[in-house]
Structure 1
């Protein structure tokens, strides 16, 4: 099958990225397609779900109906994850729709934990990393989040959301969120020696583990790290790690095992399947069921390999 044509037969959120990253379409054509994210498909549907108080589903990190006594309750319908999706869709921050939505967040939305404004960040690095990526994408001031992330790095180079409870060993999940946020902040023109050093240390934490292995045994640290997923939410997998290094344009031989793993997952027809679904209520469904070919994962895999193979 023609995989590119299959990818283009999709939502604007995917089409414009395929055009930019896989077909070398002109910047003007890409911009026209990207503009549709605000008015058609998933992007428009998610924008329409925002309430006048700036929130989605009545909450910032948890929806208004969530049980606060269940700390691991996974629901992807609240403001934080809705903003994450809009940034990943590539909603143009200069569009009128984006400016209106972000203004409502800036004015009204507060974190449940301490009542701080959304763009000041939270406590946990996995939350703050995603929040900084969102902040950078939409051109908001994220200095406070960046400082919190830099100051929260552990001695082994990464981050762990349980550090405030005594954890001293970093987590793949927390580390990828943190370095994605720091890189987005740098790319938004906010680079500093401290931010870059922290981001590079976090990258080395993952590289020293070949993106999915334990240093002690060389085996997969978690079988789920070898399974591609989308949406990723706060979860780690090797493809998410590879996407980060592609965006950072940091080539390293230690990426080799993850690249080999990615190649091994390609199906006979040239596509990649969604291997893992992160359970929980969601406002819109943007991917395919587990075991079926996924446009999002195929897009991400193809552009990683294009980057790696064109050194």
Structure 2
């Protein structure tokens, strides 16, 4: 994607808005308990692709979004994502020392602090979604339910549990896709849905089309993650390269081979973009984000 393209300009603006919104909505670092709040900001700020809040903002461009609801939504989905990374990096799970190009939270602080950072970010997400906005209460409640379902045992946490249970085991493609549809895909689907739900003028038929887009995109994102884990180096990734192979985790590359895995990701992206056929040019940022997923280097 050209660095001077309209999408690149929008992406930079949306990432900057995400950073500023998180900085504003996270607890102040000096507030008691200061170390916990400092560690929350350490984990959440200054890093990452911000794909999920970008998707939330891109989906909101399809309608007339309530500005406060949109800010709370993009911050909430990123809080859930960051909490999952903090916990995933701990010794009890993936045991990694590098995230977003800097020491992981439990390395920079300690394991107890990292555990509490994840807990606090998770609860902050729902605090944000419950704050007053101009949206109808039923629609706001639907946003809370969407993120809660995507985050729990029937979503992201459930996918992580399946992942841990299958280290060193062979999985079929259907089993792998079910796992990643929960572990990675559920939160990506929620990010898109939250952006659309922040617009009172986006209805259920449009939400269903957007969910098809997001489900395909979520799988494509994970396939490319597996490819990059094999192809890219640690400095480029900002996290430890080759970690899945070292841990003997089932991956799309292991199952399909490198070239076939990349080709499958490209097919999924094409299917995601096709799901947006009924939308006009306001969906172009969603289309560009789908292409960004396969073009990314980290």
TM (norm. structure 2) is 0.34
**Greater helix proportion:** 2
TM-score, normalised to structure 1's length? 0.33
Q: Which has the higher relative contact order, 1 or 2, with Cα contacts under 8 A spaced 6 or more apart?
A: 2
